[in-house]
Structure 1
Amino acid sequence: MSRTTHLLYLHGFRSSPQSVKARKMALWMAREFPHVHWWCPQLPASPRQAMADLLAGVAHWPADRMAVVGSSLGGFYASCLAQHLGCPAVLINPAVHPSRDLAQYIGEQAAWHDPSQSIFFDAAYIQELQALESPTPSAAPQTLALIAKGDEVLDWREMLARHQAGRVHLIEGSDHALSDFDHYKAEILEFLGLA
């Protein structure tokens, strides 16, 4: 894999570029890899719009030197982008069946990092997610999946079954947010060709 010069970070459902992991990665890039083009957008609630915005945003990036990192729903989007663009992706507790899991969140939802803000998750977004859910990833995906057995939101067995064709780090314990994210810094940077 080529060294990454363009890196995209995708946050999870109801999250934002202010998430702990997004801010930590932004800091790592600014301090240690200032030459890397960093983009961590606020994703719209509509999955179709999110994917359209992301594809437009990376349209002029060098395909052989870009990578994507995503957490939870952002991990699902990262997996979709990696398949579509053929780029490497780091997937942190990635959603596998978001159309099923997010069906209970239709309506107004408070944002995690600022409860005064909210998003509206429309029923139509479930169909948009279904359209993005492919049966299986490519035979040899360039992915590193960090999967925590202690994830309290998503089933680690589903994540493992979905992403086992790529590289997997199955983590004993931890949680959905991967609160011990710093422990995996070296592995993430090495996978991205930055270490």
Structure 2
Amino acid sequence: MIIYLHGFCSSPASWKSRLLAEEMARRGLADHFVCPQLSPVPDEAVASVSRLIEQAGGPVTLVGSSLGGHYASHLAEKHGLNAVLINPAAVYRLDLADFAGEHANFHSGERFVFTAAHAVQLKAQVARPTPERYWLLLEEGDEVLDYRQAADFYAGCRQTVLPGGDHSFTQFPEFIPQIIEFAGL
């Protein structure tokens, strides 16, 4: 199974989630893909995905983008799973105070507040990665997060660092078959 974890202010309607779900369905693997709507409260997001992992009944690979990459990393360490991280948030290096305040979900418009307590929860989730579990996909043109912070944090992990692009990871469609293969599906 692949569990896709979307980023901050995003949702299962993100283009990467939709493209991956469509390709999984095309291959007859629709029932091996899930992308939950993550709570804006970090501990709640992790708890809900942990429940999905425990209910999966088989091997799980996590695929996470941006903040979803942070969650995927945390959960991979907690549950001993493999993960593909796409322009992930290197939370240990971020000034999370920059994100404090009210935000709106890009797809639903639903509003939420990111608080100092949420920042503390995120920082507490940071765990050193076990290199053989990860495949890091980075585009140097990420305008939201400095790709070098993730490259440094995940040193020793399999990394694909591409020139150009942006935070959305523009070359994602080209990597879908390899992500499915990485998941063993």
TM-score (norm 2): 0.92
Which residue number corresponds to residue 14 of structure 2? 19
Which residue number corresponds to residue 141 of structure 1? 132
Deviations 1:46-86 (A, max 9, x none): 111111111112113245x2111000000010011111111
Which residue number corresponds to residue 121 of structure 1? 114
- Distance in structure 2 (CA, Å) of the matches to 1:42 and 1:99: 25
- Distance in structure 2 (CA, Å) of the matches to 1:176 and 1:33: 30
Deviations 1:111-138 (A, max 9, x none): 1123x3222212210110111113x212
Q: Which runs of 5+ in 2 are unaligned?
A: none
Instruction: Give the 4+ runs in structure 1 shifted more than 4 A.
Output: none
- Distance in structure 2 (CA, Å) of the matches to 1:185 and 1:29: 9
- Distance in structure 2 (CA, Å) of the matches to 1:186 and 1:35: 14
- Distance in structure 2 (CA, Å) of the matches to 1:36 and 1:80: 24
- Distance in structure 1 (CA, Å) of the matches to 2:55 and 2:91: 30
Deviations 1:118-172 (A, max 9, x none): 22212210110111113x212x331110011111111111111111222110111
- The structure with the largest helix share of the pair is 2
| AA matched with 1:85 | H
Report the alpha carbon displacement of residue 183 of structure 1 after superposing the two structures with TM: 1.6
Which residue number corresponds to residue 84 of structure 1? 78
The answer to whether 1:108 aligns with 2:102 is yes
Which residue number corresponds to residue 29 of structure 2? 34
- The DSSP-based 3-state class of the residue aligned with 1:48 is helix
Q: Which runs of 5+ in 1 are unaligned?
A: 1-5
Distance 1:98 1:28, change over 3 A: farther
- Distance in structure 2 (CA, Å) of the matches to 1:141 and 1:80: 15
- Distance in structure 2 (CA, Å) of the matches to 1:148 and 1:88: 21
Higher mean C-alpha deviation, range 95-104 or range 84-93: 95-104
TM-score (norm 1): 0.88
Identity of aligned residues (%): 40
Report the alpha carbon displacement of residue 175 of structure 1 after superposing the two structures with TM: 0.8
The answer to whether the Cα contact below 8 Å between 1:88 and 1:143 also exists between their aligned partners in 2 is yes
- After superposition, the CA RMSD in angstroms is 1.7
Which residue number corresponds to residue 158 of structure 2? 167
Which residue number corresponds to residue 57 of structure 1? 52
Number of aligned residues = 185
The answer to whether the Cα contact below 8 Å between 1:73 and 1:98 also exists between their aligned partners in 2 is no
The answer to whether the Cα contact below 8 Å between 2:21 and 2:30 also exists between their aligned partners in 1 is no
